[in-house]
Amino acid sequence: MIKKLHLVSVLALFTIFGYSQNVVIPDANFKAYLVSNTEINTNGDSEIQESEAIAFTGTMSCSSLGINSAEGIEAFVNVATLFFSNNSLTSIDVTSNTVLKTLIVTNNNLTSINVSQNLLLIHLFVGHNNLTNLDISQNTNLQYLDTQYSTISSLDVSNNSELIGLILENCPLEEIDISNNANIDYLSLQNTELSELDISNLSNLSDLNVRYTDINCIEVNRKYNINKPPIEWRTWKAYLSYDCSSIAVFTDRKFKKCLVSDPTVNLNGDNEIQIAEAQNFSGTLNCDDSMYSDITKVESLKYFLNASSLRTNPTDASKIEIYPNPFHSKLVVKVLQQNTQTRIYDFYGKLVLSTSDNVINTSHLANGIYIITMTSETEITTKKMIKQ
């Protein structure tokens, strides 16, 4: 009797420990893929054993399979590559997949993803999701990152010095510091909220895309000819400079063209107006009204601190006068035509007053420098004036 019980116990233990437990995979489509994959389901049954999951070291291609849940993926601790694009995932836990090198989960419904344990990760594609932030500070081996069509507004890539390709387009990204990413070869920032960009540390950049941004100046490496950049650099409205801090920024490109073509302003004859050139100019800026699209956008006149005035139609400029300068509590506009509109901008280009009055109450304005634009039917005159 004792021998019989001993035999039963041995058989029970063999049953428990001789066979691995099955991996729980709730999603039918995900399970169907795994069971049909002979590299994973090596015994050909209808389940995935834990031993089979642990043994798998290859690529899992699960894109476009209608998968709603990736639960069970945590059992595949040695998987190297995961493709889960074009599914309906709202979450995915890859914290146990510590040898993962490629993770592609584009076009799902993810709102967050934790890759802090994936220290060997080289490729990370998480675009076309609902991500609001992404922490890649632990992924120091990362070479390619794609977050396009997300809602990420800021991203820290300071620890990712191995980056080669960076795609952050079509998202509300407001700033990016790539000073520690000298290996970047491909950089796409199209349709973001960026207003400035410094790529001066990138000496191997072959492809750049900043279309549909408000970037005015791109500071580049001196290796490149700013007048003849690489053909794959799509700089949109931005201009290139070796030192953006020394360049006057003009939002109105037609007005800039007028200034660049004037040798009394553009003293060195290049394609930009240096801030020093603007500040040293003391004459009258003569730009015909065909040279710019909207005079009210010429806030860059703040650079011309010593210019006497801007005349957009020099032959008729004397028809409009405004005084005194400096002024205190009022300004007087003298015109030969009716319906002259006077707009007063502060030093930063903000409109602070708009009126058609000939005597303008300025007592409420703070002391400082103002740009005053007077527009009649035939003439636009702009002057720099000082409130004391």
Q: To which H or E segment does residue 384 belong?
A: strand 380-387
Residue 165 belongs to a domain = no
For residue 45, being part of any structural domain is answered with no
Residue 295 lies inside a defined structural domain of this protein = yes
Considering its fold, how many domains does the chain have in total? 1
199 in any annotated domain: no
pLDDT in 10s for each residue of the chain, 388 residues: 444 444 444 444 444 444 569 999 999 999 999 999 999 999 999 999 999 999 999 999 999 999 999 999 999 999 999 999 999 999 999 999 999 999 999 999 999 999 999 999 999 999 999 999 999 999 999 999 999 999 999 999 999 999 999 999 999 999 999 999 999 999 999 999 998 899 999 999 999 999 999 888 899 999 999 888 999 999 988 888 888 888 887 767 777 888 888 888 889 888 788 888 888 888 777 776 555 555 444 555 667 767 666 665 544 444 678 888 889 999 988 876 667 888 888 866 678 888 888 899 999 999 888 888 787 766 667 777 888 8
Nearest to 96 by CA among 28, 164, 50: 50
In a domain, 179, yes or no: no
Kindly state whether residue 71 falls inside one of the protein's structural domains: no
* 244-276: burial string, b at 16+ Cβ within 10 Å, e else: beebbbbbbeebbebbbebeebbeeeeebbbee
Euclidean distance between CA atoms 174 and 171, whole angstroms:
9
Residue 371 belongs to domain spanning: 253-387
Q: The tokens 């730009």 sit on which residue?
A: 287
CATH number of 309's domain = 2.60.40.3080
146 in any annotated domain:
no
| Residue that the structure tokens 């139609």 belong to | 313
- 345 assigned to some structural domain: yes
